[in-house]
Amino acid sequence: MPQPRPLVMGIVNVTPDSFSDGGRFLATDDAVAHGHELLADGADILDIGGESTRPGATRPLVEDELARVVPVISELAADGAVVSVDTMRAEVAEAALAAGATIVNDVSGGLADPRILSVTAAADATYLCMHWRGHSDVMQSLTSYDGPGGVVAAVRAELGQRVEAARAAGVEKLVVDPGLGFAKTADQNWELLRGLDALEELGLPVLVGASRKAFLGRLLESEAGEPRPVGEREDAHVALVALLAARGLWGVRVHDVRATRDALAVVGRMVG
């Protein structure tokens, strides 16, 4: 039986440099408190990340990423939250799963650290497999999708390859993510959103993470050509969530959980 609405994954960035809220929740206590706020607003899942993946970001040391996320995951999982770890590293995923996470959200789809697939399989965790072509310092130079079908066909094919790799490693619970903003231009993000049917042909649940991303800022740019600031993109994101909600997505990854849940409530009331 399909879900009555998409699951809402609330973002907890335990980082100094994330594009939207970098530095706000770097301290463990602040991150845990923010997680509780998101739960109170209606989050179904908390996605805890210790590495910024914004364009141009520098990767943290493994030790720093572990120190950022493991204490936060331990506390929130102990309080009963469903926790996802947002990481590309097998070592971090392993520690996070041991601390109580039950979902691994790997934006690299196993390309950055292939061992993350076997780590996820060993824990019988859910694996969120995103489309990705390269790390933050190079990803915006990898936006060429010149084959037949353009970006939609390429993302479907490349994601399909990563799904096969995950299954070969023993992962049984899979969700796919088109990777909006990762090696994609603004126009390509819109093409992907209009072409989600192609991703659904993989036969797996789909997660969309569009919250406050640059393509929304470009859509709303000023007459002078300046993108709408990050903190002023939420209304557009909520409109997008409402449009996508009725298509049966598995989940949406968001910063503003309350606004998202409000939009989903309206959609649910309208479509029954």
Q: Which residues are catalytic?
A: 213, 253
- Taking the C-alpha atoms of 144, 145, 151 and 154 in order, what is their torsion angle to the nearest 10 degrees? -120
**Alpha-helical runs (H) found in 123-221:** 150-168, 186-194, 196-200, 214-219
Determine the Cα–Cα distance for residues 157 and 74; give it in Å rounded to an integer.
36
What angle is formed at CA 251 by the lines to CA 250 and CA 254, rounded to 5 degrees?
A: 175
Amino acid at 95: A
Q: Let me know how long the chain is.
A: 272
User: Which residue, 234, 269, 235, 267, is CA-closest to 249?
Assistant: 267
Contact between 124 and 102 (Cβ < 8 Å): no
Cβ distance 44 to 82 under 8 Å?
yes
